[in-house]
Amino acid sequence: MSNFCDYNSINDYVSELLNKEFDGLFDAGEDITVKASLYSLCAGGKRIRPALFMTVSKMLSVDENFAIKFACALEMIHTYSLIHDDLPCMDDDDLRRGRPTCHKAYGENFAVLAGDCLLNRAYEILFDVCKENPSFITAASYIADRAGINGMVGGQSIDLFSEGKEISLERLKELQAKKTGALLQAAIVTPAFMSSDKNDIVIKLLDRLSCSLGLAFQIRDDLLDVTSNAETLGKSIGKDERDNKSTFVTCLGFDKASEFFENEMKSAYNTLDEIKNLPEGYDVSELRVITDFLMKRDR
Ligand code: GRG
Q: How far apart are CA 259 and CA 261, in angstroms?
A: 5
- Ligand 1 centre from 78 Cα, in Å? 7
Measured in Å, residue 179 CA sits from the centre of ligand 1 at 8
Count of CB atoms within 10 A of residue 70's CB? Answer: 28
Atom of ligand 1 nearest to the CA of 180: 18
> What one-letter code names the amino acid at 247?
T
**Does the beta carbon of 240 sit less than 6 angstroms from any atom of ligand 1?**
no
Using an 8 Å Cβ cutoff, are 261 and 223 in contact?
A: yes
**CB 85 near ligand 1, within 6 Å:** yes
176 within ligand 1 shell (Cβ under 6 A): no
> pLDDT tens, position by position, for the chain (299 residues)?
568 889 999 999 999 999 999 998 998 778 999 999 999 999 989 999 999 999 999 999 999 999 999 999 999 999 999 999 999 999 999 999 989 999 999 999 999 999 999 999 999 999 999 999 999 999 999 999 999 999 999 999 999 999 888 899 999 999 999 999 999 999 999 999 999 877 899 999 999 999 999 999 999 999 998 888 877 777 777 777 777 788 999 999 999 999 999 999 999 999 999 999 999 999 999 999 999 999 888 87
97 lines ligand 1 (CB under 6 A): yes
Candidate from 7, 53, 85, 188 with most ligand 1 atoms within 8 A of CB, to mutate: 85
Alpha helix ranges (H) inside the chain: 7-23, 32-41, 48-59, 64-86, 102-106, 108-132, 137-147, 152-162, 169-176, 182-194, 200-227, 230-233, 239-242, 248-252, 254-276, 285-296
- Regarding the beta carbon of 190 and ligand 1, being less than 6 Å apart is answered no
